[in-house]
Amino acid sequence: MPKKKTNVNLIDEYIEKIKKEKKVSEGTINTYKNVGANLPFNLLSSQPTIIKKLKDLYDNPNTLQLYLNMIILVRRNNEEETDKLIKFRNTLRDNIIETRKKKITELNGNLPEVEYIIEQLDNSTGIRYIINYLMIKHALRNKDINLKFVKALPKNKTENYIMMKGKNILLNINDYKTDSKYGSKEINISNEKFIDEIKKMKLDDGDYLVTKKNGDKISNISTFNDKILQLTIDKLGQNKLVKIMIKDLINNKSFDKLEQLSKDRGTSLDVLLKSYNLYNGEK
């Protein structure tokens, strides 16, 4: 009788398969491996057993959905049944929506007003100004901001680039959360202060916008996220800053700007208005 595959074996096999079919981020690979290494049951166990174990381990519907998504994909790769797991996952949706709305309602009352955020942005300089500007004006995620300064775009674009183009700044973003869906993003920035702050950094060709102490690129996701968080206004982070801006745009009926944020972020307008809309928790 062949030896039963461990979760680590199953995850590794699945990762190798999808890497051949499409681009897979390091973050996704690490998430899959961490889940596979830590779940105290085999991914090919019976469906009722998996559902019971997951319920015993986790209360948060978002966490349950995350694990179920991964388990279902791995089981399909091994031609195992998934019908009961899918049915269980579907029951979580209403709970997830209600939990999100509750959190958004609570958050709405605790976040600063947009006027304060803009004032703080205008009073900042250097890398702090640059990071917050990209989040506030273009809704960029942390990962998008891991930018490499170049004099000319390379033929094989695998990273995120920032360069002077005429009198403006061009961002060419290829490595971000939804890159497989939206492809390469290009953002043209003509804001005079932003351009001036970039010039003051005196970046050389190949330099990164945010670096280690020795000037190297920060490849560790957690380290990069922590450093970016420290640079954001009141350490709010990109998620909250984007929510504040979307609330203001909705208040002012600036739907054209909402569409632009959607494009710059690489997120559908529907998702933006559901997951980042501070009014979404209200009746």
Q: According to the model, what pLDDT value does residue 187 have?
A: 97
Average pLDDT over residues 47-62: 89
Q: What DSSP element (H or E) covers 147?
A: strand 147-149
Does 108 score more than 60 pLDDT? no
Segment among 93-97, 159-163, 211-215 with least mean pLDDT:
93-97
Average pLDDT over residues 8-14: 91
pLDDT tens digits, residue range 218-244?
Answer: 989 899 999 999 999 999 999 999 989
**Do 88 and 119 belong to one domain?**
no
What pTM did the predictor assign? 0.67
- Confirm if 262 and 178 have CB atoms less than 8 A apart: no
Q: Taking the alpha carbons of 35, 39, 41, 45 in that order, is the dihedral positive or negative?
A: negative
Tally of domains within the chain:
2
Q: How far apart are CA 274 and CA 243, in angstroms?
A: 11
pLDDT band at 86 (very low <50, low <70, confident <90, very high): very high
pLDDT band at 283 (very low <50, low <70, confident <90, very high): very low
Q: According to the model, what pLDDT value does residue 123 have?
A: 95
The domain boundary, picked from 83, 106, 129, lies at 106
- Confirm if 139 and 243 have CB atoms less than 8 A apart: no
Q: What angle do CA 201, 263, 122 make, to 5 degrees?
A: 40
**Do 180 and 96 belong to one domain?**
no
**Do 155 and 232 belong to one domain?**
yes
**Do 88 and 139 belong to one domain?**
no
**Do 206 and 159 belong to one domain?**
yes
pLDDT band at 25 (very low <50, low <70, confident <90, very high): confident
The domain boundary, picked from 42, 73, 106, lies at 106
Average pLDDT over residues 98-107: 62
Q: Which domain holds residue 58?
A: 7-106
The domain boundary, picked from 106, 125, 159, lies at 106
Q: According to the model, what pLDDT value does residue 279 have?
A: 53
